[in-house]
Amino acid sequence: MTNFSKAAIIGGGVIGGGWAARFALNGIDVAVFDPDPEAPRKIGEVYANAERALRVLCVAPLPKPGTITYADSIAEAVEGAQWIQESVSEVLALKHKVFAEIQASAPDTLIGSSTSGFKPSELQEGAVNSGSILVAHPFNPVYLLPLVELVPSPATSPETLAFAEAVLPPLGMKPLVVRKEIDAHIADRFLEAVWREALWLVKDGIATTEEIDDAIRFGFGLRWAQMGLFETYRVAGGEAGMKHFMAQFGPCLTFPWTKLMDVPEFTDELVDLIAGQSDAQSGHHSIRELERIRDDNLVGILQALKVKPWGAGETLAAYEKQLREASFGGTVEHDASKPLPLHTARVLPEWVDYNGHMTEFRYLHVFGDATDAFLTNIGMDSAYMARERSIYTVESHIRHVQEVAAGKPLALETQLLGYDEKRVRLCHIMREAETGEVLATGEHMMLSVDTKAGRATPLEEPVPARLAAIWEGGHKDLPAPDFAGRAIREI
């Protein structure tokens, strides 16, 4: 799915841990160097939250995760890595020291810095190879928010920037190349402006930390999540658009509405005031609980944006499409003399209901993934659908044979029960992957559809040829399961 296999993370704090999770959950092996003896525990907790969030976020199956290992030195961590992400504290001298250690072992490997404010030319001072260094500034949580600001300097090589731009989208990330290097890049300059004004509002007794957060999350924050700044104001201008908005609100720029150029003195009293209000607002939750609450809300927002797709939802839709095609592997040769082993899964905690076993709709979810794997295998890929052709499920029959607990590994096998010029009939058997015990079965009738006309249409190549290969290769001789085609018995 990606064009590299190992990443190195130097600095395993909140951001470094998020990078480690993003890489590992996309099948990339990760080596971490952090002198903090608590780093494995902290990153392990971040990873657990990331896995939980991503498996809920993505309809498509995630790839087999990469490993996360902990190195005793920077040299050990960067050995064999194709991407090195520096995420140490915002101290320029420390970053220079880290870059020197990295380039002593890997002088030509891309180094992305998570810095929030330093320009790449500042980071490159004294470097053995300035061309391999650039800013790759992510947003927390790195494993969910797609944006990465890529900031090159004139010394950054075009190959380094091109590699970074190519690597990030397959990870579900959105690279934004900053045209000119500038302190704090783009997004943090906005955040700094809002942060300064918020500090004044608290200091002057106008609003508490909770009231300021409410003003954002119940108001403009919801608009910004899907339209940003300028598009929001374009809509605010009504039918006359942005010119009308500028004419109407432009004069307000001369009004003393903000204190953007002034910063309140950072006294102990101000720190205690803000910290106390923040404790009252959120202190009843642990940081890990707050992270899970944040992640759940972000998942919902991203999934809503995916429907259009719009903004970050467009990135998510492209990521899921690529995950699905990579996971299901396209056309793969299998022994057609027996059912096809096309899909595996594991029951997540979120799939379990109040009875302690997998909830009803998750069976259809797993069988749907198995159907997608089969359809991809017979040629219904993005190129096929681009011709305005698809295959829709029109009828399903699911049997729940055994209770399925959280954590159970699942292995599905698929049998082609028959097909004609417009229809495909499938049967899936869901087994416990380790014991082979049958857990559930699913039977599905599917119809070839012209998606533009909204009507049934004959299957188009290569699908009929691949169906014929499976059928003639052995599935026509397989006995149909005794439950296939059986209606629910009367009471």
Amino acid at 267: T
Q: Give pLDDT, residue 264.
A: 83
Spatial CB neighbours of 425, under 8 Å, sequence gap ≥ 6:
416, 417, 418, 419, 443, 444, 445, 446
Q: Give pLDDT, residue 330.
A: 55
Give the start-end residues of each E strand in 67-200. 68-70, 83-86, 110-113, 133-137, 147-151, 174-177
Q: Give pLDDT, residue 491.
A: 65
| Superfamily of domain 6-177, CATH level 4 | NAD(P)-binding Rossmann-like Domain (3.40.50.720)
The closest of 60, 69, 3 to 30, measured between CA atoms, is 69
Q: What is the DSSP letter of 44?
A: H
Give me 214's structure tokens.
């409410």
Amino acid at 171: L
The answer to whether residues 175 and 164 touch, using CB atoms and an 8 Å cutoff, is yes
Phi and psi at 298, nearest 5°, equal -65, -40
For 329-477, the fitting CATH number among 3.30.420.40, 3.90.320.10, 3.10.129.10, 3.40.50.20 is 3.10.129.10
pLDDT tens by residue, the chain, 491 residues: 456 899 999 999 999 999 999 999 999 999 999 999 999 999 999 999 999 899 888 878 888 899 999 999 999 999 999 999 999 999 999 999 999 999 999 999 999 999 999 999 999 999 999 999 999 999 999 999 999 999 999 999 999 999 999 999 999 999 999 999 999 999 999 999 999 999 999 999 999 999 999 999 999 998 898 888 888 888 888 888 888 888 887 787 777 777 777 878 878 998 899 889 999 988 898 888 989 889 988 988 998 898 888 899 999 989 988 887 776 555 566 787 899 998 988 898 778 999 899 999 999 999 999 999 999 889 998 889 999 999 999 999 999 999 999 889 999 999 999 999 999 999 999 999 999 999 999 999 999 999 999 999 999 999 999 999 999 999 999 999 999 988 777 66
Q: Give pLDDT, residue 1.
A: 46
Give the C-alpha distances (Å, rounded to integers) separating 471 from 61, 243, 478.
Answer: 27, 63, 9
Spatial CB neighbours of 91, under 8 Å, sequence gap ≥ 6:
none
The Cα 296–Cα 302 span in angstroms is 10
Domain spanning 187-284: CATH 1.10.1040.10: yes
Q: Give pLDDT, residue 378.
A: 93
Helix (H) or strand (E) holding 380: none
The Cα 281–Cα 217 span in angstroms is 14
**Domain edges within the chain:** 6-177, 187-284, 329-477
